[in-house]
Amino acid sequence: MAARFVKAMAALGIDCLARPEARAAIAAQAGGATLGDIGRPVAGTVELVVVFGGDGTILRAGEWALEADIPLLGVNLGHVGFLAELEVSQFDQLVDRVARHDYVLERRLTVSVEVYPAGARQAGWTSFAINEVSLEKASRQMMIEVLASVDQSPVSRWGCDGVLVATPTGSTAYAFSAGGPVLWPDLEAFLLVPLSAHALFNRPLVLGPESQVRLELVSPLEAVLWCDGKRTVTVAPGDKVVVRRCRHWLSLARLSVQPFTNRLVKKFALPVEGWRGPAAGR
C-alpha cells in the first residue's frame, strides 16, 4: 500500500519520504519513484504524514510528527482503527484528496510526563503521551500503592494494579477497557482511572485541561511507567510522576467533517437498533 501511494504521488510530481527502516522495502516496489529518508522533521518541508496501519502505527508516527506539528492521515490496515480516516478500499480517494490538499485538520489534546526521583527537584525522565500514561505494577503477585493528587491536593490513595491518566483520544483505548467513560475528542479534559483498585472509592475522574496530576509510588515495590504502551521507564518507591497538558497538539487530517457519534457507532458496531430490533410501526 505504501509503495502504491509513493508511485501515485510521484506521477503527480509530489515527493515522498519514508522511515529509514522501511525505505528500502517500499522503494523496491515503488517502480523507480524517488523516495527520500524522513530523518528528523524540518519545519516547512513536510506537509502531511500518511500512515498505513492500525492505531498503534499511527501512535508510532505521532512520536515523529507531534513536536513538528505535522498532521497525520491514517489508512486503516488493522482492526478497529479509531484514529484512521480511511479504509484500504478508499485508496483512490486518498491519492486525489492528498494531491489537492483537500482535507481539514482536527486537533487533539496530548499530555507531557515527568518522573521525579524521590526527593529530587529535577525530572529524571520526560516524555509525552497521545493516548495515556499508565503507572502499573511490575510484579503480578503484589499490588502497588499510589497516592494520586490533583493540583497539589491529595485525592485518593489506592492499592491497585495501576493508575491511568488518559486523554480524550485515549478514552476509547486502555481507559475504555478499564471502565472509564468515552470523551468526545474535541473536549479538553483528562481522565484519571484507577486499575482494579482495592478501595471504596475507585471511580474514574474527569479533570480540567489545566489540571496537574501527580502519582506518588508509596509502596515499597517498583512499578513501570508506560506512555502509549511504547515508551517506558522503571519507577522506584518514593518517585513522583507528574502529568500535565502538553504544549503540542496531535493534528489529524480528516477528509470529511462528521460527528464523533457516527465514528463511535461504526468502530464499535454499537447496536443502535437494540437487540429486539426496531419498534413496530416505525
Count of C-beta atoms within a 10 Å radius of residue 240? 19
> How crowded is the C-beta side of 107, counted as CA atoms within 13 Å?
7
What's the CA gap between 97 and 46, in Å, rounded?
16
Sheet with 190-195: strands ordered across: 205-207, 190-195, 162-166, 132-137, 223-227, 231-235
Q: Is residue 40 a contact partner of residue 46, using CB atoms and an 8 Å limit?
A: no
What's the CA gap between 217 and 142, in Å, rounded?
14
Counting Cβ atoms within 10 Å, is residue 208 exposed (0-12), middle (13-18) or buried (19+)?
Answer: exposed
> How crowded is the C-beta side of 226, counted as CA atoms within 13 Å?
14
Can 228 be counted among the known catalytic residues? Answer: no
What's the CA gap between 79 and 89, in Å, rounded?
14
Helix axes 91-99, 2-11, angle to 10 degrees: 40
Among the options 55, 161, 228, 239, which is catalytic?
55
* Residues annotated catalytic, as ranges: 55
